[in-house]
């Protein structure tokens, strides 16, 4: 009990309220199961859609993917010396700030929007049930009412505009919309970027299949080679070095499969 009490003190003083006794750098990684996690590392890869080669990769101990998109995308663009880049990412990478950072760096993003709204999960109207009219800066709600701009707030460094109407009190379908006095819709100052990202996906739904086929190829191959133990090293720098070797081995065998060993040897000597 004394030992556990000492560990508890350590946990409470650590910045992220976590300690790992096996490997001090490993952290709990969010998984798809609610409230569950796997202790380990977060590996990000950028894979080209034509040859499935890993263009760039990064190992972190950040528990979610939300803040990873812009860094990896920018690194990929630099590695490829490209003037523009189309990126397809999965649902976990949804952060408004990251999408803005990509857009500013000349990177177009396609990815699905997560369903985070409580209303939608509780079967009330979600934000997507409200139509935005750009020219008039209003939202039209499912009852046909206009939600006009009412005030602006700042949250997590995002400037958010709020829209509302005073028609909610006498609305016949209010119980399907809000449990409060009135429904409010929030619009980020750069929301048009998120709408463009969504539109890209609506116009090309096949992109998510392409994403799965592309990114699962290297992950599947590398995991099969790693075996059940996955990383053998401990601490972030060593795990990063281990991963870099796996990526190198994957890319080399991939190129051998694509162009053959002799042309690869010749290209390496040139």
Question: What percent of the residues of the chain are helix, what percent strand, and what percent coil, each to the nearest 5?
Answer: 45, 20, 35
Residues 238 and 241: their CA atoms lie apart, in Å, by: 5
Of 71, 61, 70, nearest in space to 238 by CA: 61
Residue written as tokens 């080399």? 252
Count of Cβ atoms closer than 10 Å to residue 142 Cβ: 14
Binding-site member from 183, 215, 242, 247 for ligand SF4 (CB under 6 A): 183
Count of Cβ atoms closer than 10 Å to residue 239 Cβ: 22
Nearer to ligand SF4, 59 or 168 (CB): 168
Report 49-78 residues binding ligand SF4 (CB under 6 A).
Answer: none
User: Does 97 help bind ligand SF4 (rule: CB under 6 A)?
Assistant: no
Least Cβ distance, residue 167 to ligand SF4 (angstroms): 4
User: Does 28 help bind ligand SF4 (rule: CB under 6 A)?
Assistant: no
Count of Cβ atoms closer than 10 Å to residue 24 Cβ: 12
User: Does 111 help bind ligand SF4 (rule: CB under 6 A)?
Assistant: no
Give the residue ranges of DSSP H helices in the chain.
2-13, 69-80, 96-104, 118-121, 191-203, 206-226, 236-259, 261-269
**Are β-strands 85-88 and 107-110 bridged in parallel, bridged antiparallel, or unpaired?**
parallel
User: Does 173 help bind ligand SF4 (rule: CB under 6 A)?
Assistant: yes
Binding-site member from 73, 88, 99, 171 for ligand SF4 (CB under 6 A): 171
Nearer to ligand SF4, 131 or 204 (CB): 131
Least Cβ distance, residue 180 to ligand SF4 (angstroms): 9
User: Does 201 help bind ligand SF4 (rule: CB under 6 A)?
Assistant: no
Binding mask 213-242 for ligand SF4 (x = CB under 6 A): ------------------------------
Binding footprint of ligand SF4, residue count (CB under 6 A): 13
Binding-site member from 174, 197, 214, 218 for ligand SF4 (CB under 6 A): 174
User: Does 167 help bind ligand SF4 (rule: CB under 6 A)?
Assistant: yes
Residues 184 and 153: their CA atoms lie apart, in Å, by: 13
Residues making up the chain, counted from first to last: 270
Q: Enumerate binding residues for ligand SF4 (CB under 6 A).
A: 141-143, 145, 165, 167-168, 171, 173-174, 177-178, 183
């Amino acid at each position: 009990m004394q030992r556990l009490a000492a560990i508890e003190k350590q946990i409470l003083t650590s910045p992220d309220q976590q300690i790992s006794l096996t490997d001090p750098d490993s952290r709990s990684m969010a998984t798809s199961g609610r409230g569950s996690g796997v202790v380990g590392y977060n590996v990000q890869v950028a894979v080209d859609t034509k040859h499935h080669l890993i263009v760039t990769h990064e190992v972190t101990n950040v528990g979610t993917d939300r803040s990873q998109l812009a860094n990896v995308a920018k690194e990929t663009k630099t590695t490829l010396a490209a003037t523009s880049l189309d990126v397809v990412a999965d649902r976990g990478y949804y952060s408004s700030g990251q999408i803005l950072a990509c857009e500013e760096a000349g990177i177009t993003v396609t990815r699905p929007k997560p369903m985070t709204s409580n209303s939608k999960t509780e079967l009330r109207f979600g934000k997507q049930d409200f139509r935005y009219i750009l020219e008039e800066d209003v939202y039209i709600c499912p009852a046909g009412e206009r939600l006009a701009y009412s005030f602006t707030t700042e949250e997590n460094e995002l400037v958010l505009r709020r829209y509302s109407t005073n028609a909610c009190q006498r609305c016949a379908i209010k119980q399907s919309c809000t449990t409060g006095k009135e429904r409010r819709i929030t619009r980020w100052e750069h929301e048009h970027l998120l709408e463009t990202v969504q539109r890209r996906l609506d116009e090309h739904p096949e992109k998510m299949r392409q994403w799965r086929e592309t990114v699962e190829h290297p992950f599947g191959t590398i995991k099969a080679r790693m075996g059940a133990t996955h990383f053998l090293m401990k601490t972030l720098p060593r795990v990063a070095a281990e991963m870099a070797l796996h990526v190198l081995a994957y890319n080399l065998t991939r190129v051998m499969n694509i162009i053959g060993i002799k042309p690869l040897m010749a290209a390496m000597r040139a």
